[in-house]
Structure 1
Amino acid sequence: MNITEQLAITARNNPGKTAYVFNDEETSYTELDRAVTKFASRLQQLGYKKGDHIALAVGNSPYYVIGLYGALRLGAVAVPINPQYTASELEYILKNGDVKGIITMDVLLEKFEAISGQLPGIEHYICCESGANSSFVDSPLHEKLYSFSKLVEEGSLGFEQPVIADGETAIVLYTSGTTGKPKGAMLTHKNIYSNAKDTADYLTIGGDDRVIAALPMFHVFCLTVALNAPLMNGGTVMIMPKFSPQEVFRIAKEQGATIFAGVPTMYNYLLQASGQNGEDLSDIRFCISGGASMPVSLLKQFEAAFDVTVSEGYGLSEASPVTCFNPLDRPRKPGSIGTSIMNVENKVVDEFGEEVPPGEVGELVVRGPNVMKGYYKLEEETAAALKNGWLHTGDMARMDDEGYFYIVDRKKDMILVGGYNVYPREVEEVLYDHPGVAEAAIIGTPHPETGESVLAFVAVSDPQLDEAALLEFCKAHLAGYKVPSSIEFMDELPKNTTGKLLRKKLREQINHS
């Protein structure tokens, strides 16, 4: 079974059920399934076959959903790409990923025109109309350009899906590349299907749920939790082109949304915007947080303000991505990523791969049907990440006596001060506890006497807050070696398009100063 076969089954069983809502217009499962089949048939007519790589550089829209499911129905390999990437970033992934065709937006054509000379392997640019009146005819790529909408219109419902094995690659998902060149995680049809099903079942996402997809669909968090999981059980996806607190409140109220999924940054924005017009999220059954650790103070403030439970979870691209979530049938533990979802095992190990006792810190490793088959064309990196069937996450964690896991920090982000381990997350939690701090991040910086020292970056909500007062606050709550040696104030901390903090940018800032 794979997700496109499941879509066809749902369309047969619930033909008139709404699959997604976009710009307040509803599309049924039958309409979606037919569009997917027709698009797959036209790809086949253009010469695409099972195993060919097709990139998706598209924002949140029906184009993305139909393009993704259509490529997978053909048996092609989808390569989702952040449409905000620069031309050089796009070029690297398209070359490294051996991409044959690109599905993109007309407004992004200039980027591809600039690098098309370096991409002789690209046979077609399938263009999605944005309504911005971009002319295909005027483009230097016009001989390779096709209209997405026309391809769907011209497609045949007589298309027969080829036999696709569970272990065949479905998606090559490039990691964000915060530590160098992005690596392409090869996710199989079984990886994608099992993680969507297990996530939906664990979180009780069912046919009556209406899930807000405000996260970018090119990111695996949205792909699995807010797109594939709802479609798996006949739910409805509320597609937002981009995140906006006001639009989230409107959709939640007017469209009866029942689940919201976001990263901590989004929850921070929703909380800050909530007092303006008395917005509420009263129809929301629960919220889902992932992508980065959620500060406990933010979690508690959000839940108090909206009277809604936030289930924090954990995942990574290499695990399709979900491995843990806070269960909804018993008390949620603030600061925890929850327990292992069904069919997935998590454990904490030492440097020799031996499991450590509850309460002790080690590396989080994962095993299950969701774990990738490897990195594309990178045998050494694959061998380093996958050992004896376990995926080594690079995240430091601990497990309590009840099987709840807690991320302590990234292995590589740990700071060594005079022989003592300092985990940035612990210091950041203290900073977030100060009412005048809106955002906080910690990095290590070289120190002649202690090896490294702790450096803090903060964005404040109270302009009167100064370094001396904040350092005094830290000293009252942290051991001396964990207290920042200095604090840099910023208007906003650097983040990528999914809201994840970019410590690399902070380190670069220090190196250049």
Structure 2
Amino acid sequence: MNFASLPDRRAESTPDGPALSDGRQSLTNAELLRRVLAAARRLQQLGIGSGDVVALKLTNRIEFVLLLFAAWRLGATITPVNPSMTDSEVERQLHDSGARLLVVEDGATAAAVATLTVDDLDGRVMGPDPAPHVDSSALALLIYTSGTTGVPKGVMLDHSNLDAMAGMLGQALELAPADRCLLILPLFHVNGILISVLTPLLAGASVFVADRFSPETFFDVVEHARPTYFSAVPTIYSMLAALPADLRPDTSSLRYGVCGAAPASAELLTRFEARYGFPLIEGYGLSEGTCASTVNPLAGPRRAATVGLPLPGQQVRIVDERGAELAPGIDGEVIVRGPNVMRGYLGRPEETAKSIVDGWLRTGDVGHLDEEGYLTLVGRSKDMIIRGGENIYPKEIEDVLTSDPSVLEAAVIGVPDDKWGELVVAYVQPRPGASVDPEALTALTARHLSGYKRPTSFVVVDVIPKNAVGKIDKVAVRAMHAAASRS
């Protein structure tokens, strides 16, 4: 199967069946196909064809989904762009991906890349309807994720990856045509695209595209749209759990909520279900594995504090530093294998070879399997920070901070936070004879980093701790911060 032809098959099967809605417009399957064909002709008019890359710098809206299918119909690739990124971050992604077109909402332009405003997407373009470009090996998505070096890398996912993942998720989540997904996670994440759009549409279900998430209005949307499930991160569930106790929304349409992107406490999962009457199904995965690798079963026992069992068609192992498989209960690196594993990192064969070894994706995450195969995560390799489900790699922030002439070294760590999971804190060491101005660093990071990556505080220290070989000792920095917080 290739998603390029999915709108055609839905329109042929149930032309009047519901496909997409956002509260302002609703599309049947036949209308979805008509809009996709119009968008494809528009892209074709702009010279987009097989092998080209189209960048989407859009908030969640129906047009994002239309452009996915329109680009795939032409054999093109989509690279989603976070709308909150700075101009320099956007330019870097456009350059690395080789994008030929950038689609925006506000008429902004980008150097050396043609730009299309989304309002111009439906301009009348005459001509024959392009037939679906059906090739399972064609590159479908370029999802940018930061590596341990802090340099964003393009995760290459082809149509066979998407097909495999959507099939696995549809089976694990027991989706059927009567289901309706409420999309609240951003579409520039693979989670939003796969779990909340492609998987339900492949299963014959429909999608309601919500505006930006707000805990105060979320259940109003649920009562209006009547979804059967949605996917969110622990931070969102924490916000909903903290709503006033007298709030009693109608959640009778919901079968479950999917919880992923960061670990959730067993206490949160239990408290949420007791209050709102529907379970949270926790899972685990990463962009390099096309979104998900494990999930707690709907029918079988859901084990709090675990991220469940491998999805059908995937294998999960725990190995030591030499790659030897470890026994149940022993912590080691989590590795996964299956048709969902990415093609590789765009233009980075050496990093691809380090990440995919003999078909196994090395996740860098640390955990263990129990006797029944449930996966428990106990830590993250390197120093990645997860704030509200967003992955943050300290080196990218440290590189910005050390560009300030007053900063000799910087060490960025994540510190626990009840709302966001973790917050970003930066320790900085001044250059000899210099004085660090935290306000200047705040302005510097605002110019170069997305909001969620910016440190919430700067701690100026005489010396940043080092280990025996002279490298910054993040363990010691975290211990220093914990001690200061207690005093």
Give the shorter-chain TM-score range: 0.7 to 0.9
Residues of 1 paired with 2:309 and 2:13: CA distance? Answer: 33
How far residue 274 of structure 1 moved from its aligned partner, in angstroms, is: 5.2
How far residue 71 of structure 1 moved from its aligned partner, in angstroms, is: 0.7
2:321 is the counterpart of 1:351: yes
Alignment of 1:323-362 (within 5 A): 323-362=293-332
2:326 is the counterpart of 1:374: no
The alpha-carbon distance between structure 1 residues 155 and 204, as it changes in their structure 2 partners (threshold 3 A), is: farther
2:5 is the counterpart of 1:15: no
CA deviation profile, 1:451-499 (whole Å, cap 9, x unmatched): x9x99544589xxxxxxxxxxxxxxxxxxxxxxxxxxxxxxxx9xxxx9
Alignment of 1:207-246 (within 5 A): 207-246=177-216
User: TM-score w.r.t. structure 1 length?
Assistant: 0.75
The 3-state SS of whatever aligns with 2:140 is: strand
Residues of 2 paired with 1:205 and 1:500: CA distance? Answer: 35
Tell me if structure 2 keeps the 8 A contact 1:38–1:159: no
Equivalent residue for 1:126, pick from 112, 116, 123:
116
2:359 is the counterpart of 1:410: no
Residues of 1 paired with 2:250 and 2:294: CA distance? Answer: 28
Residues of 2 paired with 1:178 and 1:352: CA distance? Answer: 20
The 3-state SS of whatever aligns with 1:321 is: coil
Residues of 2 paired with 1:509 and 1:200: CA distance? Answer: 45
Alignment of 1:60-79 (within 5 A): 60-79=60-79
Residues of 2 paired with 1:221 and 1:410: CA distance? Answer: 19
The 3-state SS of whatever aligns with 2:122 is: helix
How far residue 178 of structure 1 moved from its aligned partner, in angstroms, is: 7.4
How far residue 55 of structure 1 moved from its aligned partner, in angstroms, is: 0.3
CA deviation profile, 1:145-201 (whole Å, cap 9, x unmatched): xx1121xx3255632223x32122111110146751110000001101110121011
Residues of 1 paired with 2:455 and 2:201: CA distance? Answer: 37
Alignment of 1:152-163 (within 5 A): 153-154=124-125, 156=127, 158-162=129-133
The 3-state SS of whatever aligns with 1:154 is: coil
How far residue 312 of structure 1 moved from its aligned partner, in angstroms, is: 0.3
Residues of 1 paired with 2:356 and 2:39: CA distance? Answer: 36
The 3-state SS of whatever aligns with 2:177 is: coil
Moved more, 174-183 or 220-229: 174-183
User: TM-score w.r.t. structure 2 length?
Assistant: 0.79
The 3-state SS of whatever aligns with 1:172 is: strand
2:303 is the counterpart of 1:313: no
- Aligned residue-pair number: 412
2:122 is the counterpart of 1:149: yes
Alignment of 1:447-466 (within 5 A): 456-458=415-417
Which residue number in structure 1 is paired with residue 258 of structure 2?
Answer: 288
Tell me if structure 1 keeps the 8 A contact 2:238–2:419: no
How far residue 11 of structure 1 moved from its aligned partner, in angstroms, is: 1.7
Residues of 1 paired with 2:164 and 2:325: CA distance? Answer: 26
CA deviation profile, 1:194-218 (whole Å, cap 9, x unmatched): 1012101111121111111000011
- Structure 2 unaligned residues grouped into runs of 5+: 395-410, 421-444, 463-487
Moved more, 41-50 or 376-385: 41-50
Deviant stretches of 4+, over 3 Å: 176-179, 454-461, 499-502, 508-513
Alignment of 1:240-279 (within 5 A): 240-273=210-243, 275-279=245-249
Identity of aligned residues (%): 33
Which residue number in structure 1 is paired with residue 88 of structure 2?
Answer: 88
Residues of 2 paired with 1:168 and 1:511: CA distance? Answer: 50
CA deviation profile, 1:329-352 (whole Å, cap 9, x unmatched): 111000111001111111111111
